[in-house]
């Protein structure tokens, strides 16, 4: 490690031509200091300072500031520099500015720092020109003024001040205070980079990476990033460690401090090149090496990316606990992506104990930084009451925040809530709006549902052709329900010309993807030979697959096969089993069939009371056959107390729906009823309202 120079300012200005008479003693003091003989340096400088020599006052102030050969005393240092400044000593002005900046030996006062830097800058001191330029650039102690910043940067840059060259390059790159000019920015970055200034090397690499001001060249970017990222202890010409660091801080950027570990941002960018194989041979191991170097210096993006590599096992052994460690370091630096990923680990219990409250905490931090994925997942937690109290309104708020940022999953979720009135007032128009936003981004589920809304005319004007357009987009992404909906459009000729073979092809594709409605429908097509070759065995296969997924219509159809012995051996017990599965889900046709099996004792023990129970369930949903059979049992008192009025009502309802045997049963019952009973039954039939019946798909 090099010995730190005596000056807080430029090493090249240690010997000042302004004080030729005392150049010898000053040289002697510097030589003694560089040998580490601080007492000898102090012995030379104290008399000079007491004699009112500006140079002696200035250099003695440096010893007080550093505590070298004398107890550290910033107040005494400031006092000596103020005396030297009264004699117009440039470096004294500069160091006074340094002291007022961080508040060493004086109350922090950026306006006062500007005053002293300006005096030194006007005397031509380049590092003061650079500092005052930075303060104008960031409005520190003065009103922000990029044009003034550019003027002072240029004066310092023309003297070879690397930090100023870099700062001027940044202004040209951003078009702040000067016309935007990437080529001019590159020129200044190159000047500073040529002096070994890591920040400029990093920025120059970035210009090559993005092709700004130079032809895009990842290999050239890698070259400059390698230089900045290498283990180089270089400090730009004329700077000591302290003045260099404070100068970087004045740039108002999270710039890496010069260390013997290389420029952290360059290491991070270099890691990305190796990960992507741009300008260098792709190597996740090499990428991980550079990410680690940057991460070890506290570079948050590198810590976050290294965490991702451990989570994926890219270039390193997969290790979720290690991923959690790196993401925590980055999350503590408020990197939203790391906060989000750490939340996911807690939610899933990977690398850390599962803790939904902790997941919510990290997602909230990221969500408050407007990370849409975190807002979306936090919304989910409020929707389900996982890790936070359930609050549908709060969930909707977070979904909307993510949706407003264009996050398609949140747009889809918000649309779902508007469609179903969940957490918000039901509004099909609003639902369609959000589905369209997500669909326009290629979200397949949203495209499919938007198609359904056009088919039904919910929230939009009914338009079957528009429905087909959206289903076609979603089907191209292999979404099973989109293949199903598109197949049904061709089957029914809605929005397209009817084409049963094409419908069968699409429905079969959806069925093979495991979509139960498609399995049920293609089963029906095989059963009837509709658009495909009739094949009862194939029908049974598809209905069984759908039934095993719990689709009641398929369970009922499978029950019919067993009850009638079609393509399977007749088996009433097996039929009853499948009817019951569908009936328990409220499927009216299965409830009616199960009632009939209890009434006749087919596949189950005969039980008229149980038969009546299931007939009631089906009849209440408007199933005509169950209404007629229930009417007969009520009239005859089978499994239930005789009630001729109720019986007549059910028979009337069944007849009104066209049940073939209901009229005969109605007339037979009427012949055994009083006019008053008939009138009452008729009134009951007029007043009756069905419960919602689950339709066949």
pLDDT of 638-685, one tens digit each? 999 999 999 999 999 999 999 999 999 999 999 999 999 999 999 999
Question: Cα(first)–Cα(last) distance of the chain, in Å?
Answer: 80
Per DSSP, the three-state class of 89 is coil
Q: How far apart are CA 687 and CA 622, in angstroms?
A: 14
The candidate with the shortest Cα–Cα distance to 191, out of 176, 179, 205, 201, is: 201
Alpha helices of 479-515 — where are they, by DSSP H?
Answer: 480-492, 500-512
Angle between helices 516-528 and 480-492 (to 10 degrees): 30
pLDDT of 380-417, one tens digit each? 999 999 999 999 999 999 999 999 999 999 999 999 99
Q: How far apart are CA 635 and CA 544, in angstroms?
A: 38
Q: How far apart are CA 221 and CA 285, in angstroms?
A: 20
Tell whether pTM > 0.85.
no
Alpha helices of 386-427 — where are they, by DSSP H?
Answer: 392-404, 408-420
What pLDDT is stored for residue 251 in this prediction?
33
The dihedrals phi and psi of 313, each to the nearest 5 degrees, come to 75, 35
Q: How far apart are CA 182 and CA 123, in angstroms?
A: 31
Q: What is the CA radius of gyration of the chain?
A: 41
Alpha helices of 101-139 — where are they, by DSSP H?
Answer: 110-122, 126-138
Q: How far apart are CA 506 and CA 484, in angstroms?
A: 7
Determine contact, residues 45/59, Cβ cutoff 8 Å.
yes
What pLDDT is stored for residue 697 in this prediction?
57
Q: Is 493 left (phi over 0), alpha (psi -120 to 50) or beta?
A: left
pLDDT higher than threshold 60 for residue 436: yes
Residue 691's pLDDT band, with cuts at 50, 70 and 90, is confident
Q: How far apart are CA 102 and CA 95, in angstroms?
A: 11
Sequence-distant (≥ 6) Cβ neighbours of residue 253 within 8 angstroms: none
Count of C-beta atoms within a 10 Å radius of residue 127: 29
What pLDDT is stored for residue 260 in this prediction?
57
Which of 48-52, 102-106, 174-178 is predicted most confidently?
Answer: 174-178
What pLDDT is stored for residue 696 in this prediction?
53
If you ran DSSP here, which 8-state letter would residue 346 be given?
H
Q: How far apart are CA 432 and CA 163, in angstroms?
A: 55
What pLDDT is stored for residue 257 in this prediction?
45
If you ran DSSP here, which 8-state letter would residue 693 be given?
P
Tell me, rounded to whole angstroms, the distance of Cα 240 from its chain centroid. Answer: 43
What pLDDT is stored for residue 23 in this prediction?
56
């Amino acid at each position: 490690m090099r010995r730190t120079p005596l000056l807080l300012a430029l090493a090249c200005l240690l010997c000042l031509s302004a004080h030729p008479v005392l150049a010898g003693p000053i040289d002697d003091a510097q030589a003694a200091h560089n040998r580490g003989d601080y007492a000898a340096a102090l012995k030379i400088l104290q008399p000079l300072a007491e004699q009112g020599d500006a140079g002696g006052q200035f250099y003695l102030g440096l010893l007080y500031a550093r505590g070298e050969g004398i107890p550290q005393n910033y107040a005494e240092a400031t006092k000596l520099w103020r005396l030297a400044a009264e004699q117009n000593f440039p470096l004294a002005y500069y160091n006074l500015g340094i002291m007022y900046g961080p508040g060493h030996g004086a109350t922090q006062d950026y306006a006062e720092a500007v005053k002293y830097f300006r005096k030194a800058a006007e005397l031509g001191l380049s590092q003061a020109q650079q500092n005052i330029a930075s303060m104008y650039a960031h409005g520190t102690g003065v009103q922000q003024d990029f044009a003034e910043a550019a003027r002072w940067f240029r004066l310092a840059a023309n003297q070879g001040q690397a930090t100023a060259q870099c700062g001027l390059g940044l202004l040209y790159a951003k078009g702040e205070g000067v016309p935007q000019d990437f080529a001019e920015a590159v020129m200044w970055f190159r000047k500073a980079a040529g002096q070994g200034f890591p920040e400029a090397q990093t920025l120059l690499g970035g210009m090559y990476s993005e092709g700004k001001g130079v032809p895009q060249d990842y290999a050239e970017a890698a070259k400059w990033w390698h230089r900045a990222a290498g283990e180089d202890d270089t400090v730009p010409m004329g700077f000591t460690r302290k003045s260099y660091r404070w100068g970087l801080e004045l740039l108002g950027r999270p710039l890496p401090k010069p260390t013997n570990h290389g420029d952290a941002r360059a290491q991070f960018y270099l890691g990305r090149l190796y990960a992507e194989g741009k300008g260098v041979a792709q190597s996740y191991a090499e990428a991980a090496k550079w990410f680690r170097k940057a991460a070890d210096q506290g570079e948050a993006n590198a810590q976050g990316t290294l965490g991702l590599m451990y989570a994926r096992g890219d270039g390193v052994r997969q290790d979720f606990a290690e991923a959690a460690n790196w993401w925590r370091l980055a999350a503590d630096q408020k990197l939203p992506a790391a906060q989000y990923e750490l939340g996911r680990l807690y939610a899933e219990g990977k690398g850390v104990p599962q803790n939904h409250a902790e997941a919510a905490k990290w997602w909230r931090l990221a969500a408050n930084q407007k990370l849409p994925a975190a807002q979306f997942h936090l919304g989910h937690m409020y929707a389900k009451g996982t890790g936070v109290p359930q609050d549908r309104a709060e969930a909707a708020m977070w979904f909307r925040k993510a949706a407003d940022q264009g996050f398609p999953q949140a747009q889809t979720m918000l649309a779902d809530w508007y469609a179903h009135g969940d957490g918000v007032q039901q509004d099909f128009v609003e639902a369609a709006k959000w589905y369209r936003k997500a669909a326009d981004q290629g979200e397949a589920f949203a495209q499919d549902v938007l198609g359904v809304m056009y088919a039904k005319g919910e929230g939009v004007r009914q338009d079957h052709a528009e429905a087909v357009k959206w289903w076609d987009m979603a089907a191209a992404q292999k979404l099973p329900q989109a293949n199903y909906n598109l197949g049904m459009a061709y089957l029914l000729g809605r929005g397209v010309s009817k084409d049963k073979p094409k419908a069968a092809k699409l429905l079969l594709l959806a069925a093979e993807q495991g979509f139960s409605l498609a399995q049920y429908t293609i089963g029906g097509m095989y059963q009837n030979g509709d658009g495909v070759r009739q094949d009862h065995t194939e029908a049974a296969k598809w209905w069984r697959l759908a039934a095993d997924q719990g689709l009641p219509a398929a369970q009922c159809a499978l029950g019919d096969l067993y009850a009638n012995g079609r393509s399977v051996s007749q088996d009433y017990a097996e039929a009853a089993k499948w009817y019951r599965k569908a009936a328990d889900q409220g499927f009216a046709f299965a409830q009616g069939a199960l009632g009939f099996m209890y009434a006749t004792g087919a596949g189950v023990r005969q039980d008229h009371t149980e038969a009546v129970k299931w007939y009631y369930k089906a009849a209440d949903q408007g199933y005509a056959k169950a209404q007629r059979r229930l009417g007969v049992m009520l009239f005859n008192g089978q499994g239930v107390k005789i009630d001729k009025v109720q019986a007549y009502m059910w028979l009337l309802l069944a007849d009104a729906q066209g049940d073939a045997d209901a009229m005969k049963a109605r007339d037979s019952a009427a012949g055994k009823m009083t006019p008053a009973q008939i009138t009452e039954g008729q009134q009951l039939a007029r007043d009756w309202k069905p419960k919602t019946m689950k339709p066949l798909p």
